Amino acid sequence: MLRRQGIFAIIGLIALFTVLHLGFAPETHDPRTTGTTLLGGIAFLLMTCAIILSTRAAIFEDWLGGLDRMYQVHRVIGVLAALFALVHFFGVPKALPAGADPALNAMVPSAPLGMLGLIFLVIGLFIALNRKIRYSFWRPTHKIMGLVYLLIFGHFFTAPPVFVLQFSPSGLLLLAAAIMGIVCLFYSVFGMNRRTAIPFTIEAVNALERATEVVLKPSDRTLDFKPGQFAFVEISGKGWNEPHPFTISSAPGDDRLKFTMKVLGDWTRKVREELQTGGEVMVRGPYGRFDAEGAGQKQIWLAGGIGLTPFLSKLRAMQPGDKRQIHLVYAAREEQDAIFLDELRDRAAQLGSVTLVPLFSDEGNFARVDMMKQKLPDPLNSYEYFMCGPKPMVDGLMKDLKAEGVPRRKIHTEAFEFR
């Protein structure tokens, strides 16, 4: 669930800049200049926030509710930054004020830097929002946003004083943001992956029904994670260029790290057909705040298809005597599609506090609120919900649960999409 602390922090930063910019605006500025430079400054601050979130720092996961939510906020503020930048570009006065030296102001590179930044921003935004572009192409080209940030930085700090006072209170705030943004940019591009990478060796590749389980043996140290978290998996070797995020399906403390991947596209199909044991894999993480341990005593874990993986890790980590009453609702097309079903049944029997509720659509049993009313012993609003699965299923259930009186704070979801 998206948490509000991070949103409030971004809004607070924008509000502070607005107060400083309007409260200390030069007397020589007309309202149009003040307003359009305000929009340009807000665009720069939003871009800075997007850059900072790209570092995947744990504190921002806590503020926003996990890396999946951070990526959603990153995308939204990127779009808002582009909109503010466009309005700034078309609204800012093109003519110099009376008395300004044309020759002196023509020597600064602010205008061409701003133009280049805007062009690359529009291109980068198109690539970022176009779902038809393959991930293998999208990921490296998305780094163009780093170049955009540097161009916009140069545009602001070389702007003529008749438009911007760089060392005014609002200008100093932008300077402080720029320093932090540039440090975070270089860290995310050049330092983050090296610092967080943990090497593993591929021990087994197990083909399941419509999914593949990859078992990894640590080369040195293993990954310290909580049940329900995910990590980025990067396979070494030619043709395995980009990392992909997958939920960890093994339990913390296991001597092997396991990922269960649904066969959805070219990369996951290649994993199933071509991945060989003995190869090296780099794992970066863990990420995510899909944690059920601190929730209420009565919980519903609702898994759709491959959305089972975070709950599989949770079940494997649970010990007999757990005081929570958990109903695991597992929705699949048919019984043969339900991976690890036998293990789930055995584990539920061992734990005692877990009730498995399989729903197979070919039998007419769907993951719907009316079906859950029939299958669950208590009123729906008495449970706390953790849901992971296809977006249409999760969105529909969330809407129906709210209609049944379940508070939003008691519904926790994990976002599948990172673009």
CATH code of the domain covering residue 369: 3.40.50.80
Per-residue pLDDT of the chain (419 residues; tens, 9 = 90+): 678 889 999 999 999 999 999 988 877 778 888 898 899 999 999 999 999 998 888 899 889 988 888 988 988 998 899 899 989 888 877 665 555 555 555 555 777 888 888 888 888 777 777 767 776 667 777 777 888 899 888 888 887 776 677 788 998 999 999 999 999 998 888 766 667 789 999 999 988 878 889 999 998 888 899 998 999 998 887 777 778 888 999 999 899 999 998 877 777 888 888 888 998 999 998 998 888 877 888 999 998 888 889 999 999 998 888 888 999 998 888 888 888 888 999 999 999 889 998 888 877 777 788 777 877 888 888 889 998 888 888 888 888 888 888 888 888 887 756 55
Q: Which helix (H) or strand (E) holds 230?
A: strand 230-235
- What CATH number has the domain bearing residue 28? 1.20.120
* Count of structural domains, the chain: 3
Spatial distance between the Cα atoms of 340 and 106, rounded to a whole number of angstroms: 69
Sign of the Cα pseudo-torsion (112, 116, 119, 122, in order): negative
Q: Are 47 and 78 in contact (CB under 8 A)?
A: yes
pLDDT at 118: 85
Backbone angles phi, psi at 230, to 5 degrees: -130, 170
Same domain, 338 and 377: yes
Which residue range is the domain that position 345 belongs to?
Answer: 298-413
Spatial distance between the Cα atoms of 2 and 237, rounded to a whole number of angstroms: 36
pLDDT at 192: 67
pLDDT at 274: 84
Spatial distance between the Cα atoms of 127 and 203, rounded to a whole number of angstroms: 37
Backbone angles phi, psi at 237, to 5 degrees: 120, 165
Same domain, 42 and 122: yes
Same domain, 36 and 81: yes
Single-letter amino acid, residue 42: I
Same domain, 132 and 230: no
Same domain, 116 and 188: yes
**Neighbouring residues of 397: CB distance < 8 A, sequence distance ≥ 6:** 302, 367, 368, 369, 387
The answer to the question of residue 293 being in a domain is: no
pLDDT at 96: 59
pLDDT at 182: 93
Same domain, 22 and 143: yes
**Residue 70, token pair as written in the block:** 């951070």
Same domain, 231 and 345: no
Q: Are 366 and 331 in contact (CB under 8 A)?
A: yes
- Terminal Cα-to-Cα distance of the chain (whole angstroms): 18
Spatial distance between the Cα atoms of 129 and 172, rounded to a whole number of angstroms: 32
pLDDT at 101: 54
The answer to the question of residue 292 being in a domain is: no
Same domain, 12 and 109: yes
Domain boundary residue, one of 237, 265, 287: 287
> If DSSP codes are grouped into helix, strand and coil, which group holds residue 330?
strand
pLDDT at 141: 73
- Cis check: omega of the bond before 97, within 30 degrees of 0: no
Same domain, 244 and 273: yes
Domain boundary residue, one of 287, 322, 352: 287
Same domain, 128 and 218: no
pLDDT at 259: 93
The answer to the question of residue 202 being in a domain is: yes
Same domain, 59 and 187: yes
pTM: 0.83
The answer to the question of residue 306 being in a domain is: yes
The answer to the question of residue 149 being in a domain is: yes
Following CA atoms 40, 45, 50, 54 in sequence, which dihedral angle do they give, to the nearest 10 degrees? 130
Q: Which of 416, 300, 291, 278 is nearest to 369 (CA)?
A: 300
pLDDT at 386: 92
Q: Which of 111, 119, 112, 121 is nearest to 164 (CA)?
A: 111
The answer to the question of residue 418 being in a domain is: no
Domain boundary residue, one of 194, 216, 242: 194
Count of beta carbons in the 10 Å neighbourhood of residue 150: 16
The answer to the question of residue 169 being in a domain is: yes
The answer to the question of residue 419 being in a domain is: no
Spatial distance between the Cα atoms of 77 and 94, rounded to a whole number of angstroms: 27
pLDDT at 42: 95
Backbone angles phi, psi at 30, to 5 degrees: -85, 165
Q: Which of 358, 359, 348 is nearest to 325 (CA)?
A: 348
The CA-based diameter of the chain, rounded to the nearest angstrom, is 84
Same domain, 110 and 205: no
- What CATH number has the domain bearing residue 253? 2.40.30.10
pLDDT at 102: 57
